[in-house]
Structure 1
């Protein structure tokens, strides 16, 4: 491993190298343009499957027709595979992935009971398995480093999880787990705790509390290897103590805080000043009327790339303009009245994504010349008082995607939109009838020159509870 790099960073570097060589393609990017999903060409897939079987890299159950290797090391099971006693090849199994596999629990149980308990297994992924209780077989897998029960109906994590002393990643996203036992603190090698559940889809009306996290053990600071902690609830009796403990997690790169109380802002700021490796920070208040107070933060994490603040703001935190590595900023339910948030954000040299949702209650947003030089995606949503958007020449020269949603007082296109020569996509959703009628008239008259350079213009609405619309 390269000096100064984590295992995760090295792995991402290898994937990027494969992309550069066109051996792997980008299937989906995140809002900040980081790769979210990969794909490979069908021909490459056939070659990879063939070579992986020949060299005993990965065995695909339910797909491979050739004879299985004597000792399977990595096994991927799809929905069609049935366990048989011929499957005596698993005593050296290191990785087990089940994708859409029926009876995942019974398959796991049979594999474990007839193959020396799968004692060498290091990776177990049971995503989407039909289960409501934590599988007891897992507690015997003492070599396990990666465990995913994502998108299952598991509700409780047993205290005996403390037996998994080698565990590094615990993925419980989209489960019904709301609390982790104190025994989780025995897992000193834990690097990633991923535990939160979305409780609403993205169709309006958007509720403030659309995601819930988990109640963490009070002494969470003893897990000194943690790099990702998502997402801890803090609105409880030990919430203040818990926020103080976070400051001990000096290796943290991603932190997600739910239900922050106004009076706990100073404690959180004190902890954040100690997290010099932090790259991503999400903070959500207890409610949309609760003010997030992070103004006492004097030395913010300078490596921060992504910042999301959900809750009331009296002003944009003074330290944000100093974060020159910021790529993505999301401000939701800020409800700023007397402050123009663009003044603080326009000079960020590497900002690529900016999202406002109920951020601004003034009548005008003005993107000034020279500002937002690297911005690629801009989302404006639910800005109830907004009437006009103005774009000066020289602002946002790289903007490719502009989305304006639920800004119902806006009656005209952004003034100066013709200056956005890089713009490829414009979405107008749940906007005023006046704006839509004006656009349609201009289209009929052939006088829509201001947006003629934009290849995709989409007009839609979600008022009926589902997406509908059309391209101009």
Structure 2
């Protein structure tokens, strides 16, 4: 993480020297020296952070660098606060007056002394850098993410820990993998086992390889542990030795001294060329390993197999392009299997005493089905006095620190953290701010990453796109799990395993990354940079200094005094605050202290009861993100136009809707006249379409990527289309009418205008349509479309079926006809389809070749559907079918198996909505 912090500070110093050289005066030379020293240390930091676990001196040195980098950042931002060019209008014309004023002369003197102090500290730290560099020698070839040489041993520990309890729940996945190995395919096939650390990948694959049927089918069996510190030459030599010794043949003499990777691969390939082999590569961390080792494996036609275990999705799927491949994603143990394994390890042949069940269940829930953790914790508790519940509660409170065995679990899981690139470490560490078992909304996490400065834009990629890629990488590495696999990122949520959360919370505390105020917290660190409020019930005192605070994030709380608490915190001198996320706070109005936060970039009042945004909002000249969603704010003052750098402006309230009656999905906000002056805006939703002039103003916002409009009237359609024709960067468009009888008229979008929407990916139209607008058919990049309350008379599929990249489609009260037919060749990339409340629909059919990639189908409130969809058996890739309020005919079809019932037996999961229990798996499809 320190590498990332130093990089950010170096960028700030570079900008300061470039833009403020005149104002810096004699300080410029001192700043350059500090910048040079930090730059020299940055390269060694990558090595030091990789080795600090093994050397406490390096760990201390890294913390010194981090502290001084933070202090340099404080000085830079204090300077910019007082003297920066953006301090009010007409500053450059009055620079001399500002510099020579008495107050600012004193401030310059103080800042100059602080710069001198920083230079002295950095010089001392630099001496340590030179000493360690000399001690450790050359470090340029060492991986920045190299956690040391103990990963092989950790992997062995993982396998042994899980093996101790003869893992339960292994039979079914074992048989699946054996079937893949012995499926009769004569070509080389790669079978990968994917999952987070400690989930039992090694144990499972070992059981598969040791199976008698498997052993009989392969002439050569080999097991090679790869690990993070794999040096290919040594690895190949070890593999050659194992292969030859396994057949009793002498190892070629030249192999031991050979240093040519290509020649070593040739030896392996020649040995395996006419043999049927099964080789396991255990614990693969890097796609590059597969890119190298594949050239040592003859494909042939002997039916050979390769198995990989990995925590990283990209590694598991790396062989998919060139070889027959199969990926088995390991799942956590079920609640029942977890309890059986826990009791087996903890109580041997006895059952859990009743008085221990509550604390045992709480401990087990933290394991979340992770076999490694269950076995390790069970082993610890087996040695505890069963009559002393307090001893068990101590384990519960400090799960990973109460024994060497549990400490080993933490180290095994930590390997994934230390394998991350430095910028991803910071992003993952930031997830420690969220409460336990919290569903982390993708949109909130990404916006906070950006506001904190963790994400840098790349060529042809916005910050938001880069952040999405970072989140995807953390998911691929099995560090976080997707909770809601919705195409709409505003509803997508993630979850962190409790044990991973304990690890990053511990690292966050140790590195002073964030301070969490929860319960009756009375002890505050000397320097609080990130403050997180989790149901804080204590009191803040005037003695608390928050002058270093950069971000303040709250989580929904029932605390009635949120405003006074917030005012007390903001009065703590936090003038450098950049991020203020008050989502869910019990606020009815904004504290005045907020408007003094000149540096504030991010302000969220989401899910508060705030009704009015004062004119003082215009003082926040550096604000880039303002979220007023799910508040009572209905109008914004004219002063919002003073914030020329505003990128995201989000304000709306959601109204519950029913399928049949209510047309109002969102209440937008009334924007001031001349909203078109906010030229930097990238997100704007939902804005009320008050009149034609407001629709024309939207056309001035050329940077818009997301636009939401409410209360649209038919007569404003022409102006809206004209403005849309000017928004070439638009990616998402939401349009909602003013009332249920109003018509969305977008037929003014001629081909010359619609061509500017080539980047549009998501389109949502809420309101009546006389027909599907023609321009939609030309949107080649469209991936998602929602038609709500359209009440079309003509079949909408005729217009939409040839969209080449459409992946999701929702039809909600969109069509009045009786027949809907998905024709052969239609919707080639559609993955998710929802058909809701088509009140006249009686027959639904699917021709062979339609929707070949459909994975999920949802149907709701189809009251008059005569029969189950014809041709549903053609949807061979369908994974999930959701039925909400099926009518009597559909319900009878599902309950009474007969010949046609075979049409749906290929669907792995069928869910029925229950008004009390929510989505329930259909009993005929329980696995």
Same fold (TM over 0.5): yes
Tell me how far 1:66 sits from its aligned partner. 11
Secondary structure of the 2:493 match is strand
Query: What is the CA-CA distance between 1:206 and the residue it aligns to?
Result: 5.4
Residue 819 of structure 2: aligned partner = 364
Indicate the structure with greater strand content: 1
Answer whether contact 2:893 2:901 (CA < 8 A) is retained: no
Corresponding position of 1:431: 886
Classify the secondary structure of the residue corresponding to 1:448. Answer: helix
| 2:564 maps to 1:106 | yes
Query: Is the Cα–Cα contact under 8 Å of residues 104 and 126 in structure 1 kept in the other structure?
Result: no
The structural deviation recorded for 1:375 is 1.0
1:212 aligns with 2:655: no
Q: Distance in 2 between matches of 1:12 and 1:377?
A: 21
**Matches of 1:459 and 1:15 in 2, distance apart?**
32
Is residue 309–residue 330 contact of structure 1 (8 Å, CA) maintained in 2?
yes
Whether 2:851 is the aligned partner of 1:393: answer no
Say yes or no: does 1:471 pair with 2:922: yes
Given that 2:484 and 2:492 are in contact with CA atoms closer than 8 Å, whether structure 1 keeps it comes out as yes
The question of whether the paired residues in 2 share the 8 Å contact of 1:153 and 1:175 is answered with yes
- Structure 1 residues 27 and 439: CA distance shift in structure 2, 3 A: closer
Distance, in Å, in 1 between the alignment partners of 2:869 and 2:617 is 55
Alpha-carbon distance in structure 2 between the residues aligned to 1:459 and 1:29: 18
Distance of aligned partners of 1:206 and 1:397 in 2 relative to their CA distance in 1, 3 Å threshold: farther
Q: How does 1:100-249 map to 2 (within 5 A)?
A: 100-101=556-557, 102=559, 103-113=561-571, 115-116=572-573, 118-200=574-656, 205=660, 207-234=662-689, 236=690, 239-249=691-701
When normalised by structure 2's length, the TM-score is: 0.48
CA separation in 2, counterparts of 1:154 and 1:35? 23
> Counterpart in 1 of 2:483?
27
Give distance in 2, aligned partners of 1:11 and 1:141: 26
Tell me, in whole angstroms, the C-alpha distance in 2 between the residues paired with 1:73 and 1:32.
Answer: 32
Report the Cα offset of residue 347 of structure 1.
Answer: 1.2
Shift of 1:34: 8.7
- Tell me, in whole angstroms, the C-alpha distance in 1 between the residues paired with 2:605 and 2:858: 35
What does the per-residue CA deviation read over 1:60-114, in whole Å, with 9 as the maximum and x for residues that have no partner? 222899975421111111103523439624211000011134232222111222x
Once residues 458 and 71 of structure 1 are traced to their aligned partners in structure 2, the CA distance between those partners, rounded to angstroms, is 51
Distance 1:422 1:206 in 2: 35
Asked if residue 273 in structure 1 is aligned to residue 729 in structure 2, the reply is: no
Q: Counterpart of 1:319 in 2: which secondary structure?
A: helix
Report if the CA contact (8 A) 1:32-1:327 is conserved. Answer: no
Q: Is the 8 A contact 1:397 1:420 kept in 2?
A: yes
Structure 2 contact 519–535 (Cα < 8 Å) conserved: no
Larger radius of gyration, structure 1 or 2?
2
Aligned partner of residue 242 in structure 1, secondary structure: helix
Cα distance 1:367–1:99, how it changes in 2: closer, same or farther (>3 A)?
Answer: same
CA distance in 2, matches of 1:233, 1:278: 18
Change (3 A) 1:380 1:329: same
Pair 1:459 & 2:912 matched: yes
Does the aligned pair in 1 maintain the 2:613–2:637 contact within 8 Å?
A: yes
User: Displacement, 1:15?
Assistant: 2.1
CA-atom RMSD in angstroms: 2.3
Between the aligned partners of 1:160 and 1:192, the Cα distance in structure 2 is 18
Which residue, out of 408, 412, 425, partners 2:863?
Answer: 408
Number of aligned pairs?
461
Rounded Cα–Cα distance in structure 2 between residues aligned with 1:375 and 1:112: 49
Distance apart, 1:227 and its partner CA: 0.7
Query: What do residues 249-305 of structure 1 show as CA deviations (whole Å, max 9, x unaligned)?
Result: 111110001011111111000100111111100011122222211111133311111
Deviation sequence 1:9-66 (CA, Å, 0-9, x none): 2222222222233333322232357982222222222221122222222222228999
Find the counterpart in structure 2 of residue 294 from structure 1.
746
Q: For structure 1, which segment, 210-219 or 286-295, has the greater mean C-alpha deviation from structure 2 after superposition?
A: 286-295
Looking at structure 1, the residues matched to 911 and 464 of structure 2 have their Cα atoms a distance apart, in angstroms, of 38
For residues 176-230 of structure 1, give each alpha carbon's deviation from its aligned partner in whole angstroms, at most 9, with x where no partner exists. Answer: 11000111001111111111111216x6555111321110112110001111111
State which of 2, 15, 19 in structure 1 corresponds to 2:471: 15
Name whichever of 452-461 and 131-140 sits farther off: 452-461
Q: CA deviation at 1:433?
A: 1.8
In structure 2, the partner of 1:37 is 493
| Equivalent residue number for residue 352 of structure 1 | 807
Which runs of 5 or more residues in structure 1 are unaligned? none
Q: Secondary structure at the match of 1:137?
A: helix
Cα distance between partner residues in 2 of 1:172 and 1:305: 25
Structure 2 residues without counterparts, runs of 5 or longer: 1-456
TM-score between both structures, scaled by the size of structure 1: 0.92
Change (3 A) 1:63 1:24: farther
Structure 1 residue 326 displacement after superposition = 1.0
Q: CA deviation at 1:308?
A: 0.6
Measured in 2, the distance between the counterparts of 1:292 and 1:433 equals 35
Please tell me whether the aligned partners of residues 69 and 89 of structure 1 are also in contact (alpha carbons under 8 angstroms).
Answer: no
Greater relative CO (CA pairs within 8 A, separation 6+):
1
Any conservation in 1 of the 2:520–2:536 contact (CA below 8 Å)? no
- CA deviation profile, 1:413-452 (whole Å, cap 9, x unmatched): 11100111111222222333233223323x3x47511111
Q: Summarize the Cα distance change of 1:121–1:33 in structure 2 as closer, same or farther, 3 Å threshold.
A: closer
Of 902, 916, 919, the residue aligned with 1:449 is: 902
Secondary structure in 2 aligned to 1:13? helix
Report the Cα offset of residue 168 of structure 1. 0.7
Question: Hey, what's the Cα distance between the residues in 2 that align with 1:455 and 1:20?
Answer: 24
The structure where helix makes up a greater share of residues is 2
